[in-house]
């Protein structure tokens, strides 16, 4: 529940704001612990509509960059010897994003009230996933919270850097292709119809490319609303399809089988799996529990099924590498190296080395992909633009030579 409060602090200043709590009494206790004198406290749902806070949560989404900032700053302060509650309060003051600020303040209040740090984080599953919470819980149990927070910050920075490189490599081709499609649609709707009238009045015979261009233009002009409606329905239906288990399974399998990009996606999932499991084992999480957590983190049903099979193998006394050895989606190198790690008792180190190797592989694929896409995009532009220009110039040339 969200409450709007007005209170005075120790300096006598009047402060207004909102606070999230399970009920009004709990909200009063939280404000009292901040040494505030309450003037008024009302649940936001009881306020007039024009005084209720506007919910723009989709604009305040906590991003991967925010999580990297939060983890790194918190690890530095805790390792420097600051108490956890004080570190969280400082972090809340330094955070500029309102949504993250509220979450950190709430976590600090819960920890000050006697809750474990991991339990306070677990109240925000959309921000702190099971991987993060279990690592923190392991650090609390072992009395090594500062080391775990530092390790989490390092791993999150690596993951963020990798995903940033992937997004950066995709921005250029997506932007160019989107711009070309946009220009083509504008020409089809506004430019080509004007030329069509001139050509029809001239009575000149039209070549096939020009006929195709005119037919496409007429279709876009006459059925614009129908096309837009179809695209909206398609997008909504596709989103529902992806939310279903069968749809997600089909989509994940399709991603892995895509030419060129399939290899890239496979490498990314392998990095995510090996790095996450290595981190959990180092944090003291049992192997089966770590595999269950990683099956949710990997975000691909094909790999999730392999990991769940590996859990069954481990519980029945077999090697964790057995399920990976029998899967065609996994390179043969991975299970063999995992088996060596198990035999030597250094599975966490081996997984960490594998993660570093596949991270470099992803970077190499991205650099080659960018180099390959540039000439492909230029050829695509040349064909599209050249085809449209030729379709327009050919009948114009015929018309000019007819007189």
Domains and CATH numbers, the chain: 2-51 (no CATH), 64-128 (1.20.81.30), 144-403 (1.20.81.30)
Is 14 within 8 Å of 7 (Cβ atoms)? yes
Cα-Cα end-to-end distance for the chain: 80
Give the pLDDT score at 229: 94
Token pair of 204 as six digits: 């000149």
Average pLDDT across the chain, whole number: 82
CA angle, residues 212, 214, 218, in degrees to nearest 5 = 115
Query: Residues 65-91: pLDDT tens digits?
Result: 888 888 888 888 888 888 888 888 888
pLDDT > 70: percent of the chain: 92
pLDDT in tens, 297-327: 888 888 999 999 999 988 888 888 888 888 8
Q: How far is CA 389 from the centre of its chain?
A: 40
Q: Are 311 and 292 in contact (CB under 8 A)?
A: yes
Amino acid 59: pLDDT: 47
Give the pLDDT score at 237: 93
- The answer, yes or no, to whether residue 230 has pLDDT greater than 90, is yes
- Residues of the chain with pLDDT > 90, as a percent, come to 5
pLDDT, position 58: 46
In this structure, the strands spanning 2-8 and 14-20 are antiparallel
In sequence order, what are the residues at sequence separation of 6 or more whose Cβ sits closer than 8 angstroms to the Cβ of residue 131?
Answer: 276, 279, 280, 293, 294, 296, 297
Tokens of 149: 């927070």
Phi, psi (deg, nearest 5) at residue 83: -60, 150
């Amino acid at each position: 529940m969200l409450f709007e409060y007005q209170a005075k602090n120790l300096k006598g200043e009047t402060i207004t704001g909102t606070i999230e709590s399970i009920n009004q009494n709990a909200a009063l206790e939280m404000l009292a612990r901040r040494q505030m004198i309450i003037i008024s406290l009302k649940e936001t749902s009881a306020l007039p509509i024009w005084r209720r806070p506007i919910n723009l949560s989709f604009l305040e989404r906590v991003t991967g960059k925010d999580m990297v900032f939060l983890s790194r700053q918190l690890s530095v302060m805790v390792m420097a010897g600051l108490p956890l509650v004080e570190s969280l309060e400082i972090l809340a003051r330094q955070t500029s994003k309102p949504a993250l600020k509220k979450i950190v303040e709430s976590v600090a209040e819960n920890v000050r009230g006697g809750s474990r740090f991991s339990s306070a984080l677990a109240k925000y599953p959309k921000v702190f996933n099971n991987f993060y919470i279990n690592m923190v819980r392991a650090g609390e149990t072992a009395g090594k919270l500062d080391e775990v927070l530092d390790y989490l910050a390092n791993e999150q920075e690596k993951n963020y850097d990798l995903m940033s490189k992937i997004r950066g490599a995709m921005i250029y081709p997506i932007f160019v292709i989107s711009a070309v499609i946009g220009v083509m649609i504008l020409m089809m709707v506004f430019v080509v119809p004007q030329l069509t009238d001139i050509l029809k009045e001239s009575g000149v015979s039209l070549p096939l490319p020009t006929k195709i261009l005119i037919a496409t233009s007429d279709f876009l002009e006459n059925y614009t609303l129908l096309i837009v409606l179809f695209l909206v329905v398609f997008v909504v239906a596709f989103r529902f399809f992806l939310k279903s288990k069968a749809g997600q399974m089909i989509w994940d399998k399709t991603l892995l089988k895509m030419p060129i990009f399939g290899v890239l996606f496979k490498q990314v999932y392998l990095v995510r799996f090996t790095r996450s499991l290595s981190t959990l084992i180092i944090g003291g999480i049992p192997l089966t529990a770590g595999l269950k957590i990683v099956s949710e983190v990997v975000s691909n049903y094909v790999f999730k099924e392999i990991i769940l099979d590996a859990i069954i193998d481990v519980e029945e006394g077999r090697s964790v590498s057995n399920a990976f050895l029998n899967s065609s989606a996994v390179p043969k190198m991975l299970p063999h190296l995992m088996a060596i790690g198990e035999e030597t008792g250094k599975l966490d180190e081996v997984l960490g080395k594998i993660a570093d190797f596949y991270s470099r592989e992803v970077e190499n694929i991205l650099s080659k992909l960018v180099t390959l896409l540039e000439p492909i995009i230029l050829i695509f532009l040349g064909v599209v633009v050249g085809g449209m220009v030729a379709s327009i110039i050919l009948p114009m040339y015929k018309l000019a030579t007819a007189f």
